[in-house]
Chains A and B, each alone.
Chain A
Amino acid sequence: MNNDRPDTSVELDLVVDLNTLDDSGLPWAFLDRAVHPERIQPGAYVVVGAGPVRAIARVVDVADGIVHVDPLRGSLATNAHLLSA
C-alpha cells in the first residue's frame, strides 16, 4: 500500500478528470483546460490530472475543442522518459 503524499510539484499540461469517460472509452477534457496548449497534439505524451492527481498520458485526438487522452499505468517516474524535454 502506498500512503505517500501525492507529488503535486509536477506541472500539469492538461487538466483532466481521470474519472471521466465518454463514448470513446477514454478520459476527456476541454482543450481550453490546457496549461500548455502547444503540447496537446495527437501522439504526444503529456502530464494530465487534476488536484493532487498526476499521470502521464498519450494524447489520442483533439477535435471540436475536446481532447481524449490514454493515461499510462504506473508511476510518473516510470513513464517520465516519454515526456519531451
Chain B
Amino acid sequence: MADVVPLGGPRFRRDGQAIGPLLVRGELGDHAVDRVQCTDFLKRFPSWGRYGLSTYQAADRADVDRLAADQLERFATLSVFSVPTLLAAHFEVVPTFRSPHMTIAFTGSVDERLDELLFLRVEVLPNPYHQE
C-alpha cells in the first residue's frame, strides 16, 4: 500500500500494520518545551493544519524497553500513553515517517490540549538506559 504525502504535510505510512496499543515519548511535561514542539510541527507542515508531537509505538512492555534502550536512550524519563484512550479523547494517532514513529495530532487550543495530554498519560517511567 503506497504511503501518502499531502502537499506541505508529513508523510503518512500506509503499511497496513495495526497501531499501538502503546505510545512512548521522552520527557513530556515541561509545558513551554512541549508547546514549542507542537507549534514547530504545525509551522513545518502547515497544510495538514494540526499540532503534532512525536512518539514511538510499542506493542508491549518489551517494546517499551527496546525503545528506551534505542531511540529514546537520551531521555531520563518516558511518558507512556494508551492509544485507545487518546483516540477516545479526540486526539489523532497517525503513523508518520519511519516506523515506529507516530504523531499525536490535534487541533484547538494548544495549551488546553497539552494539559489534557498530560492528564491522559498512563505511566511515567525512569529510563534505565539513560546516561547523564
Contact residues of A with B, CB < 8 Å?
1-4, 6-7, 15, 17-23, 25, 28-30, 33, 49-53, 55, 66, 71, 73-78
Chain B residues with CB under 8 Å of A15's CB are 36
Q: Which of A33, A52, A66 has the most CB of B within 10 A?
A: A52
Would you mind naming 20 contact pairs between A and B with Cβ atoms under 8 Å apart? A2-B76, A2-B128, A6-B132, A7-B132, A17-B33, A17-B40, A17-B54, A18-B74, A19-B37, A19-B75, A21-B54, A21-B101, A22-B97, A25-B98, A50-B27, A51-B30, A52-B30, A52-B76, A55-B74, A76-B132
A23 to B43, CA, bound (A): 17
* Shortest CB distance B69–A (Å): 10
Which residue on chain B has the smallest CB distance to residue A1? B128
* B27 touches which of A4, A21, A53, A66 (Cβ 8 Å): A53
Given the complex, which residues of A lie within 8 Å of B105, measured CB to CB?
Answer: none
By a CB distance below 8 angstroms, the chain B residues around A17 are 33, 36-37, 40, 54
Bound Cα distance A50, B75 (Å): 11
Is residue B64 within 8 Å, beta carbon to beta carbon, of the partner chain?
A: no
The answer for the CA separation of A69 and B40 in the assembled complex, in Å, is 16
Measured CB to CB, the closest approach of chain A to B76, in angstroms, equals 6
Asked if B80 CB lies within 8 Å of chain A CBs, one says no
Give the distance in Å from the alpha carbon of A4 to the alpha carbon of B14 in the complex: 40
Instruction: Tell me the B8-45 residues at the A interface (CB within 8 Å).
Output: 10-11, 25-27, 30, 32-33, 36-37, 40-41, 43-44
Q: Which of A4, A53, A74, A76 contacts B26 (CB 8 A)?
A: A53
Contact B75 A18 (CB under 8 A): yes
Output the nearest chain A residue to B5 by Cβ-Cβ distance.
Answer: A23
Whether B57 is near chain A, meaning CB under 8 Å from some CB there, is no
Complex contacts, B33 vs chain A, CB 8 Å: 17, 50-51
